[in-house]
Amino acid sequence: MTKEFGIGMIGYKFMGKAHSHAYRDLPMFFPQVARPVMRAICGRDAEGVAQAARQFGWESFETDWRKLLERDDIDLIDINAPSDAHKDIALAAAAAGKHVFCEKPLALTLADSREMLQAVEAAGVKHMVGFNYRFAPAVQLAKKLVEDGRLGQIYHFRAWFLQDWIVDPEFPLVWRLQKEIAGSGSHGDLGAHLIDLAHFLVGDMQEVIGMSETFIKERPVPSSMTGLSAKGSKDAPKGPVTVDDATLFLTRFANGALGSFEATRFAPGHRCTNSFEINGSKGSVKFDFERMNELQVYFTDDAEDVQGFRRVLATDPAHAYAEAWWPPGHTIGYEHTFIHETVELMQALAEDRQPVPNFHDGVKCQQVLEAVDLSIEQRRWVRIEEL
């Protein structure tokens, strides 16, 4: 008999839609996994959340997230509200004995994220953080090749997450450009994913040094907004952009590998280039999320006359999650990373173990983010353990 877990979710915009869909699709494509029951969705705007509940398939809705915590039919709280709300909800959820699945970034500060980790551990609940890119089958393949030693000793990790949605200086001042709500800009939004992938694929970092820039210092204040988009006008008053448009940093990993990271929202032509490359003593891999079904793989021990990067389409039965979907060559998309993430979440709940990545990973990511911030502020190398 398949286990079931009641879900209560806070937030119903971009991430809310992605998570809802993952819960909907899970039982169809992974019927052997514990079933999430979509009990209630929560948002402050009653009309908006009611409509979302109907559209996404939730049994009910709430306008006060504290109500979710009181419900016995809810086992797990899924937090994908704006980043500044994560901490309060997570602490309360843990105190209420609910499992917690929180979108990244875990919190606005390292201190907050540590408090959150402490809370879930003290409460003995399960916790997960939404680093969804780990769950692309091509990324899973990269992990497998590293783990199995097929790339040898890792020498170099380079990663770049490039977007271009705010290159236009008239693009309005949405919440993601305001430090008090978003915590940081491209660094926390895009860089955080790269950092987590680095932790996942290479391991811990020792020290970092970074630089950042806000190219457009003021933008029109929008009249309304939703998700990434917003309505504005050229005549609107302008307000200050308080987050970074681009952040770069270098790192040295504990295993001796070198690392380079670039996150920017000012790279025209790149809608969502979330890319990394790993060089090891026996081979290399390359990944680009805009072609997320593919992993480029190179082995130094291929026959001399046919050495070259292989374009592996990670849709074969040999690839993670692929058999649940379509025949080889029939690709999947962005939303599938969330479905696979939910597979891990539900399996962990069913098996009474911590899912991965969890709040430990969220804290580690936040630690690097802040170490980079500190390195920028103090213009010096910062050891991760300083924080």
386 binds a copy of itself (CB under 8 A): no
Sequence letter at residue 158: R
Site string for a copy of itself, 289-328 (x = CB under 8 A): xxxxx---xxxx-x-xxxxxxxxxx-xxxxx-----xxxx
Stretch that binds a copy of itself, among 41-49, 90-98, 115-123, 287-295 (CB under 8 A): 287-295
Indicate the residue among 253 and 359 with the shorter CB distance to a copy of itself. 253
37 binds a copy of itself (CB under 8 A): no
273 binds a copy of itself (CB under 8 A): yes
317: Cβ–Cβ under 8 A, 6 or more apart, which residues? 323, 328
Indicate the residue among 83 and 113 with the shorter CB distance to a copy of itself. 83
Indicate the residue among 94 and 216 with the shorter CB distance to a copy of itself. 216
Kind of pairing, strands 4-10 and 35-42?
A: parallel
State which of positions 253-272 bind a copy of itself (CB under 8 A). 256, 258, 260, 262, 264, 266-272
State which of positions 155-174 bind a copy of itself (CB under 8 A). 155-156, 158, 160, 162-165, 167-169
State which of positions 210-239 bind a copy of itself (CB under 8 A). 210-211, 213, 215, 227-228
Indicate the residue among 116 and 141 with the shorter CB distance to a copy of itself. 141
State the minimum distance, in angstroms, from the CB of residue 308 to a copy of itself.
4
The Cα 285–Cα 217 span in angstroms is: 37
CA angle, corner 45, sides to 39 and 49, nearest 5?
Answer: 30
How many CB atoms are located within 10 Å of the residue 67 CB?
15
175 binds a copy of itself (CB under 8 A): no
Instruction: Determine the size of the site formed for a copy of itself (CB under 8 A).
Output: 101
**Locus of tokens 């875990």:** 106
The Cα 342–Cα 365 span in angstroms is: 20
State which of positions 42-71 bind a copy of itself (CB under 8 A). 54-57
Among 84, 121, 204, 335, binds a copy of itself (CB under 8 A): 335
343: Cβ–Cβ under 8 A, 6 or more apart, which residues? 26, 30, 33, 135, 321
The Cα 325–Cα 333 span in angstroms is: 11
State which of positions 340-379 bind a copy of itself (CB under 8 A). 379
State which of positions 84-143 bind a copy of itself (CB under 8 A). 141
Identify any residues that bridge with 283 across adjacent strands, giving them in sequence order.
299
179 binds a copy of itself (CB under 8 A): no
Q: What is the DSSP string of 117-167?
A: HHHHHHHT--EEE--GGGGSHHHHHHHHHHHTTTT-SEEEEEEEEE--TT-
State the minimum distance, in angstroms, from the CB of residue 81 to a copy of itself.
18
13 binds a copy of itself (CB under 8 A): no
C-alpha gyration radius of the chain: 21
Q: In what order do the strands lie in the sheet with 35-42?
A: 60-62, 35-42, 4-10, 76-79, 99-102, 127-129
Indicate the residue among 83 and 251 with the shorter CB distance to a copy of itself. 251
Indicate the residue among 113 and 251 with the shorter CB distance to a copy of itself. 251
